[in-house]
Amino acid sequence: MSAATAGAAAAASAAASASGLVHGYLVVVEKDVFLRLLSLEEKPLIVEVHEKRGLLKRRDVYIYVAGIKGLVFATKSQEKIHYPGAIKVAAERLIAPPAARSLL
């Protein structure tokens, strides 16, 4: 890799970090699997996003995201998930790649 290419790569990486882009994998699982995975952490941090979906019949959808053992797991539910001992953060929206978003 040339010095110019390395410099461009470093600049792109810094710009991505500054813009808040997320890099890595998002593993989408069923709600019961998500709850079992939470038990692997002593005090898991869970991000909760509440959305209203549907055109004619609006319904509540809750999306949950948690980092567990170095991977980021996500699930959706039509009711709130309560997990004792977890730290829950309410978020306004979830920005995810289109492939993952279609599963949520």
Task: Pick 11 or 86 by higher pLDDT.
Answer: 86
Q: Kindly report the three-state secondary structure assignment for every residue of 49-89.
A: EEEEECCCCCEEEEEEEEEECCEEEEEEECCCCCCCCCEEE
Looking at the predicted structure, is the pLDDT value of residue 100 above 80?
A: no
The whole domain housing 42 covers 24-101
Overall domain count for the chain = 1
- Which of helix, strand or coil describes residue 92? coil
pLDDT of 14 over the 80 cut: no
Instruction: Give the CATH number of the domain where residue 44 resides.
Output: 3.30.720.90
The reported pLDDT for the residue numbered 17 is 44
pLDDT at 23: 54
Note the pLDDT tens digit of each residue in 59-90: 999 999 999 988 999 999 999 999 999 999 99
Percent pLDDT > 70 in the chain is 77
| Count of other CB atoms within 10 angstroms of residue 78 | 10
Residue 1 lies in a domain: no
Residue 15 lies in a domain: no
